[in-house]
């Protein structure tokens, strides 16, 4: 039996969100095939997202992880351009019943990352996707995962200029959980 496909769709400017995306991929390895789908500046033409290949990867995926840094209380404009370009798929409900999850990073411990995760859940709901949150009580995990206590998805921020190991472990756990759910959903 073929492994489910997990598409990790993300935008990263400084590399922090990309590090999280790679950690999600490590967590899913062996349970799902992984396609890392980085949104780049070249994908945005006159303010519009134009990368049909990336959208087709999501069409084939069983699960999707959305990732973006939180800028000014929401996802980066580049991620929003991708989301806007998904409207053709929305009108056909082409992504319905795929499992979805989200991860974000911000400059501060709160930094309004919850709003970005909420944005991802609404995007997923509009597409008819099934949401996969974290099932780790914040601040109570013996391995330090879910440090900021977000059940909706992974929220993190840099500490002394680096991602804490516990947040990278949380990203791996989210990838593992998402891949397991996609395996059961197929």
Domain of 84: which CATH number? 3.40.50.360
What SS3 class is residue 84?
helix
Is 70 exceeded by the pLDDT of residue 68?
Answer: yes
Cα dist. 18→62, 72, 92, 96, 110 in Å? 21, 19, 30, 26, 20
- Supply the pLDDT for residue 186: 56
Give the chain's mean pLDDT.
92
| Percent above pLDDT 70 for the chain | 99
Is 90 exceeded by the pLDDT of residue 181?
Answer: yes
Domains contained in the chain, number? 1
H helix intervals, the chain? 16-28, 52-60, 77-85, 87-92, 113-126, 165-185
| Percent above pLDDT 90 for the chain | 76
- Structural domain harbouring 151: 5-185
- Supply the pLDDT for residue 162: 87
What SS3 class is residue 120?
helix
Q: What count of residues does the chain have?
A: 186
- In DSSP terms, 168 is beta-bridged to none
């Amino acid at each position: 039996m073929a492994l489910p496909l997990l598409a990790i769709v993300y935008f990263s400017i400084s590399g922090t969100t990309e590090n999280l995306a790679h950690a999600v991929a490590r967590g899913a390895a062996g349970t799902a095939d992984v396609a890392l789908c980085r949104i780049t500046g070249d994908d945005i033409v006159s303010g519009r997202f134009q990368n049909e290949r990336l959208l087709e990867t999501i069409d084939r995926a069983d699960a999707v992880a959305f990732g973006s840094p939180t800028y000014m209380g929401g996802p980066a404009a580049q991620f929003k351009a991708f989301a806007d370009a998904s409207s053709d798929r929305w009108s056909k409900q082409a992504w319905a019943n795929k499992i979805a999850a989200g991860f974000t990073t911000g400059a501060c411990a709160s930094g309004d990352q919850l709003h970005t995760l909420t944005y991802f859940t609404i995007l997923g709901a509009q597409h008819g996707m099934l949401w996969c949150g974290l099932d780790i009580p914040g601040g109570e995990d013996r391995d330090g995962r879910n440090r900021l206590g977000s059940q909706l998805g992974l929220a993190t921020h840099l500490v002394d200029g680096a991602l804490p190991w516990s947040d990278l472990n949380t990203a791996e756990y989210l990838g593992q959980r998402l891949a397991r759910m996609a395996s059961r959903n197929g």
